[in-house]
Amino acid sequence: MKKSLQKKHGPIDGYLFVLPVVFMMVALIAYPMLYGLYISFFNTNLVSRWNFVGLKYYIEAFQDPEFYQSVLLTFKYMILVVAGHFIVGFFLALQLNKQFKGRTAYRVVFMLPWFFPEAVIALLFTWILNPMYGVFNDILMKVGLISTNISWLGSKDLAFSSVVFVSIWKGFPLVMTMILAGLQTIPRDLYEAAEIDGVGRFAQLWYITIPSLKSIIKTLLILDCVWWFKQYTLVYTMTSGGPGTATNLISLSVYGTAFNDLRFGKGAAWGVLVFVICVLLSTVFKRVIKDED
């Protein structure tokens, strides 16, 4: 079909249509990216100082415990958050796919966190978890679970767990909605046939539902991992990476290096490394999931 159009109107029309996007990709994405790579070879404040240092920042990054710790922490954060998204999202999608009264209302409620800005959610939970006047401490006290106020964002272990919880709270609706959309494409007769053959609920889930959703799960897993690996706003607003380095995710490290320490070269180099990690992540996922086919 496409050939017939092709013959009458050469590729020139095609090029014209994609020209604006190609221009944007080249001028506003590829060029800045290469420029970032260029900056990463310099010790620079972007204004007066431009000292060429070659691969120094890349080599240093691999010896710098701060970089390692930050990357490891980010992986730990990403794994917990994405696992949380999938557990909650999958569970809710399965529930909301059933017929029951008030289903639409529940769906809307469970989508809410998705539509609030990350900054607003972060501020809201900072307030709720406030050690002095926060409502969370008050509720726990009233129920009798704690006897003194807890500083949720002020102590190392709790700050990390709190940030993970809020990230799961914010991010699960996307996974839920996508899986729900996927569930609705699975033909009902598959389940009816399984029912007749006496296949149990969990077997149905394992042999029908999950395989049918494979491509959705794959795409979601890759996107979700990459998105939350890059996470900045939520964590920055809640803890600024603290206390100490307890929630200092890699994005926060990079940002701080560039815009607080004004070490733009080093920041750019670390930024490139984050990109490489993201690409590796998605490649690994694609490979792993493909091999099972």
Partner 1 sequence: MKIKTERYIGRTVTYVVLTALALVILVPILWMISTSFKTEAATYNPHPTWIPDPPSLMAYDKFFNTYSFGKMLMNSCVTCIATVIICVLCSSLAGYGITRFRFHGKKALMQFLLVTQMFPAVMMVVPFYAILSKVGLTNNLVGLIVVYSATNVAFSTWMLVSYFKSIPIELDEAARVDGASSFRIFWNIILPLVIPGIVAVAIYVLFHGWNEYMYSSVIISTDDLKTITVGIISLNSQNQIKWNDLMAASAFSSLPLVVLFICLQKYFVEGMTGGAVKG
Q: Which of residues 244-283 bind partner 1 (CB under 8 A)?
A: 250-251, 254-255, 258-259, 264, 267-268, 270-272, 274-275, 278-279, 282
The pattern of x and - marking residues 130 through 159 that bind partner 1 according to CB under 8 A reads x-xx-x--x---------------------
Spatial distance between the Cα atoms of 220 and 163, rounded to a whole number of angstroms:
21
From 84, 89, 171, 182, residue interacting with partner 1 (rule: CB under 8 A):
182
Which of positions 98-137 make contact with partner 1 (CB under 8 A)?
98, 100, 106, 108-120, 123-128, 130, 132-133, 135
Residue 129 gets which letter from DSSP?
T
From 55, 72, 146, 181, residue interacting with partner 1 (rule: CB under 8 A):
181
- Is residue 65 part of the contact set for partner 1 (CB under 8 A)? no
Q: How far is the CB of 58 from partner 1 (least distance, A)?
A: 14
Identify the CA nearest to 213 among candidates 204, 73, 243, 1.
204
User: Which run of H or E residues covers position 268?
Assistant: helix 264-291
Identify the CA nearest to 238 among candidates 127, 146, 89, 148.
127
Q: How far is the CB of 291 from partner 1 (least distance, A)?
A: 21
Nearer to partner 1, 80 or 238 (CB): 238
- Is residue 232 part of the contact set for partner 1 (CB under 8 A)? yes
Spatial distance between the Cα atoms of 67 and 238, rounded to a whole number of angstroms:
21
Q: How far is the CB of 139 from partner 1 (least distance, A)?
A: 9
From 57, 86, 228, 229, residue interacting with partner 1 (rule: CB under 8 A):
229
Identify the CA nearest to 180 among candidates 106, 277, 235, 130.
106
Spatial distance between the Cα atoms of 51 and 14, rounded to a whole number of angstroms:
44
User: Which run of H or E residues covers position 180?
Assistant: helix 156-183
- Is residue 83 part of the contact set for partner 1 (CB under 8 A)? no
Grouping H, G, I as helix, E, B as strand and the rest as coil, residue 43 is strand
